[in-house]
Structure 1
Amino acid sequence: MRLVKIVSIITLCTLASACSWFGGDKELPDIPEQQLYDEAISALERSEYQVAVDKLQLLEARYPFGRYSEQAQLELIYAYHNNYEPDAASAAADRFIRLHPSHENIDYAYYLKGLTAFEQDRTFFEKYLPIDITQRDPGAALASFESFSTLLNRYPDSQYAPDAQKRMVFLKNRLATYEVHVARYYMKRGAFVAAANRGRFVVENLKETPAVPDALAVMFQAYTELGMTDLANSAQEVLLSNYPDYDLKTYRQENKSLMETATFGLLGGAEEPVPPTRAINPKAAEAAKEKAKQERSFFDKITFGVFE
């Protein structure tokens, strides 16, 4: 009996220590704060951003009130940004702004937050292929514009203000062009009130952008379709007064046939009339029409006359 107890105790001790044998719970060594910070900065300088993230996170966890805690939070935003983790970078920037509203480098947090959203909107393919990003959802562009705007309003003398201002010009142009794309989509759908409102938003809120003349043209076209003559004439007058070379055309909604819609324009489209090259005898023309009625086309025959 005593031998059984001894064997049981030995077995339990063996099982308890098995976790450590196979790499179970391992305690991280107690690394000094200075060493952790230096290792994180060295990783950033070598562009090893994931290593830097791990070091900075460990530094914050081990020394939350240390002398490098605030600087480590700033460096963590930068590390996330360069490691292509936009959500983590934005969250880290918001946390730093919330915890240190009067920090001397808070303008850098706003700048990095705006820069992260700015580059989040540009994918790998858009950098090397001619893809029109103005037709995409502008959520990241709006977030970037807001961060840069806050930076310029609160810290106009910041060293990051000039670059933020240049990026805001680009973002403003992009947002205005997106609004015009949406307005034209509404025009095609016959939603003329929504189209006019989109155009007016660009004219009133996104002035001095290249999309303003297109927005005025949409307003003119939408108000014309709605029968609002005074507003249409006003938009036309403003457009032609400021952009006299603009090719303004009255909008006409296309009425596509069922066959043209089903075949994506390959069949059933209306053909432009060809002007005659000689005088046509009226009697001969009438006879030709009668003959055309009697001769059914192949398409008319196979569709039993449904489409013709």
Structure 2
Amino acid sequence: MKLKFILIVLMSIALTACAGKPKPQQMTATQTAQGMYQQAKEVLDAGLYNRAIELLKGVESRYPFGPLAKQVQLDLIYAHHQAGDIPQALASIDRFIRLNPNQPDLDYVYYMRGLTNLKADENAFQEFFDIERADRDLSSTRQAFDDFKILLNSFPNSKYADEARNRMLVIKNKLAQHELIVADYYMRRGAYLAAANRGKYVLEFYRDVPQVEQALEIMVESYGRLGLDKLKQDAEQVLRLNFPQNSSIK
């Protein structure tokens, strides 16, 4: 009898110990929307983005029309962006814009779309070694410029406006530099008209960037090699007026 009693006591202690162990975080049927969201938010703030996405989707599926629905959607945009899932981040952004065309949080959403499109064009190898290629596709970077422009035009007083403006300046420099890389590629292959057109494009669309001087130099040399004397003289005149210290001016 004593042995049986001891075994019963030990089993009771074991069961009590198991019940006292903390369980992994998981959604339960009895959790409220606020409780579920708070749990997901803590995971998100901890930087566990993939797990946060799972939890936020759980909240969204269970409470699709609740008072937290829009905040959950915004957090999913951020989580997908941080997790590096560019297609899903953009899909979540476009969905939010479509479903909430008059939301005051749209400035944040357009800001995130700009950041996400910038991220789409990033190439770790090229950025690390400062390598650019003439055939590099920068369509997402151009889209990011448009995203930030929409933000500034629609929400000029947004707290993201200054950052968007700074990003646009960086993007313009990057796009202008890329045009000159392409122009140089054409120059080295004797495609002088194509090179001149790239320089002209910089003048027309990025006239306030430092690369304008180099664009004019390319135009002068290209038109000269093509025997287009009038166009060469016009480019030289613009170069002389705006950059009188330029070493290529005779």
Shorter-normalised TM-score: what interval? 0.7 to 0.9
Give the Cα–Cα distance (whole angstroms) in 1 for the partners of residues 146 and 184 of structure 2: 26
Aligned residue for 2:131? 132
Q: 1:186 — aligned with what? A: 186
The root-mean-square deviation of aligned C-alpha atoms, in Å, is: 2.0
What is the alpha-carbon distance in structure 2 between the residues aligned to residue 124 and residue 179 of structure 1?
A: 21
Q: Percent identity?
A: 40
Alignment check: 8 A CA contact 1:134 1:177 kept: no
Distance 2:249 2:195 in 1: 16
User: What are the Cα deviations for residues 14-39 of structure 1, in whole angstroms up to 9, with x where unaligned?
Assistant: xxxxxxxxxxxxxx842432222111
Q: Which residue of 2 aligns with 1:79?
A: 79
Where does structure 2 lack aligned partners over 5 or more consecutive residues?
Answer: 1-26
Whichever structure has more helix as a proportion of its residues is 2
In the other structure, the counterpart of 1:296 is none
Relative distance call for 1:134 and 1:158 in structure 2 (3 A) is farther
Aligned to 1:43: 43
Contiguous gaps of at least 5 residues in structure 1: 1-27, 251-308
- The residue number in structure 2 matching 1:10 is none
Superposed displacement of residue 162, structure 1: 0.3
1:202 partner letter: V
Give the number of equivalent residue pairs.
Answer: 222
Q: Which residue of 1 aligns with 2:230?
A: 230
| Greater than 6 Å deviation, 4+ residue runs | none
Structure-to-structure mapping, 1:49-198, within 5 angstroms: 49-125=49-125, 129-133=128-132, 136-198=136-198
Mapping 1:231-270, distance limit 5 Å: 231-248=231-248
Q: Secondary structure at the match of 2:196?
A: helix
Match of 1:216 in 2: 216
The Cα shift of 1:189 comes to 2.0
Q: Which amino acid aligns with 2:70?
A: E
Is the CA contact 1:134–1:175 (under 8 Å) kept in the aligned structure 2? no
The CA distance in 2 between the partners of 1:147 and 1:71, in whole Å, is 21
CA-to-aligned-CA distance 1:125-182 (integer Å, 9 cap, x gap)? 556x341347532122112111111111111110000011111101000000101111
Matched, 1:204 2:204: yes
How far residue 228 of structure 1 moved from its aligned partner, in angstroms, is: 1.3
State the structure with bigger RCO (CA 8 A, min sep 6), 1 or 2.
Answer: 2
Where does residue 281 of structure 1 map in the other structure? none
Residues of 2 paired with 1:249 and 1:242: CA distance? Answer: 11
Aligned partners of 2:28 and 2:36: how far apart in 1? Answer: 11
Q: Following the alignment from structure 1 to structure 2, what is the Cα–Cα distance between the partners of residues 194 and 106?
A: 40
Contact 2:240 2:249 in 1 (8 A): no
Name 2:6's counterpart in structure 1: none
CA distance in 1, matches of 2:48, 2:28: 22
> Partners in 1 of 2:32 and 2:133 — Cα distance?
49
TM-score (norm 2): 0.82
Give the residue type in structure 2 aligned to 1:96. F
